[in-house]
Amino acid sequence: MKKQILLFPMLILSLVFTGCSDDDDPAPVVELEVITTVVVTLTDTNNVEYEMRWEDPDYAVGNITAGYSGVTSIPEGFYSGEVQLYNNTLPIDDEEYVITNEILEPGEGGDIDHLFFYSGLGGLVLNSLAYEDSDVNGDPIGQQFSLVGVAGTGELSVMLVHEPEKDADGMPDDQWNGVGEDEVNLQFPLTISTQ
């Protein structure tokens, strides 16, 4: 009995502490839901496109201001707008590469759970901001929008809210009531000049 008792733990010890090394390197995480690229396109009445971009290929936090590029100045007037979101960490043919597709998908988790907000900050004045699309419930999404730009300098704020309360009082026309999570919270530097 004595021998058995002492042998037993040794046996277990040897079983436990061998054969558990040399695993393969763990795979890198393919980051989902990551928005690395935001492209806002404003088209004027003459079909001239103005493109504003924000990019963060490393998806590194703390690096947001360096990400803005593209147009920083547009003339006064009416514009129809569109926003596209991408996840550059995925290959181009991945179905989640174009995030906008996912957002526009009808139903829960898609169009009814997303809402964009736009506003002019600083000296930037945007008139007649309007949503130009709607989800399966007839509520706006905001991936398509329109505005009238008035001369001034400031920032174009683009927000995407996940799981908003689209039918709450005052929503979405006044401002966000705070329910939901920001997915995009960007401010594009922009000057609108008199023609």
Partner 1 sequence: MRIYALVVLLLAQLTTASQNCTHTLSGKVIDLHDGSLLSGATLVVAETETVVQTSLDGVYSISNLCPNTSYSIKVLHSSCEPKTFSVKILGDSVRDFKLEHHLEELNEIILEGKAYENKTTTVVEKNINQETLEQFSAGTLGDALNSLSGVSSLNKGNGIVKPIINGLHSSRIIMINNGVRMQDQEWGKEHAPNIDVNSVGRLTLVKSASALQYGGDAMGGIIIAEGLKTAVKDSLYGKTIGTAASNGRGGGVTSQLTKSFKNGWYSTVQGTLKRFGDVESANYILSNTGLMEKDLSFRLGLNRFDYGLEGYYSYYNTTIGILRSAHAANASSQIRAINSNEPLIIRNFTYDIGYPNRDVKHHLARIKGFKNFESLGKVNFQYDYQKNKRFEYDIRRGNDRDTPALDLELNTHTVLLDVKKAYDALELKYGIMGRFQTNFANPDTGIRRLIPDYDKYDYGVYVIGDYKINDKWQVESGIRYDYSFIDAFKYYKNSVWIERGYDILFPDIVVNELSTQLLTNPKLEFNNLSATLGFNYNISEKSSLFFNQSMASRAPNPSELFSDGLHHAIARIELGDLRFKSEIGHKTDLTYRFESERFNFSVNPFHNLIQDFILIEPTGLTETIRGNFQVWEYRQTEVQLFGVDIDASYNLNKALKFTHQLSLVKGYERGNNLPLINMPPVNTKNQISYSNQKLNNLKLSLESEYVFAQNEYPDNNFEVYIPVLETTETLDISTPPNAYHLLKLNGSMDFKVSKTTSLKVGLEITNLLNSSYRSYLNLLRYYADDLGRNFLLNLKLNY
Contact 115, 161 (CB under 8 A): yes
In the complex, least distance from residue 19 CB atom to partner 1, rounded to whole angstroms: 10
Q: What string marks each residue from 52 to 71 as x (binds partner 1 by CB under 8 A) or -?
A: --x-xxxxxxxxxx------
In the complex, least distance from residue 60 CB atom to partner 1, rounded to whole angstroms: 4
Contact 172, 117 (CB under 8 A): yes
What values do phi and psi take at 91, rounded to 5?
Answer: -65, 150
Before 9, cis peptide (omega within 30)?
A: no
Q: What string marks each residue from 135 to 154 as x (binds partner 1 by CB under 8 A) or -?
A: --------------------
Residue 163 is a binding residue for partner 1 (CB under 8 A): yes
Nearest CA-CA partner of 153 in 183, 187, 180, 177: 187
DSSP strand pairing (68-70 vs 49-55): antiparallel
Contact residue for partner 1 among 3, 26, 169, 173 (CB under 8 A): 26
In the complex, least distance from residue 96 CB atom to partner 1, rounded to whole angstroms: 7
Nearest CA-CA partner of 68 in 148, 182, 129, 156: 156
Q: How many Å apart are CA 147 and CA 169, to the nearest integer?
A: 23
Q: Which stretch binds partner 1 (CB under 8 A): 41-49, 73-81, 112-120, 139-147?
A: 112-120
Residues forming the site for partner 1 (CB under 8 A): 1-2, 5-6, 8-9, 12-13, 16-17, 20-21, 23, 25-33, 35, 38, 54, 56-65, 89, 96, 99, 102-103, 105, 109-110, 113, 117, 119, 121-122, 155, 157, 159, 162-163, 175-187
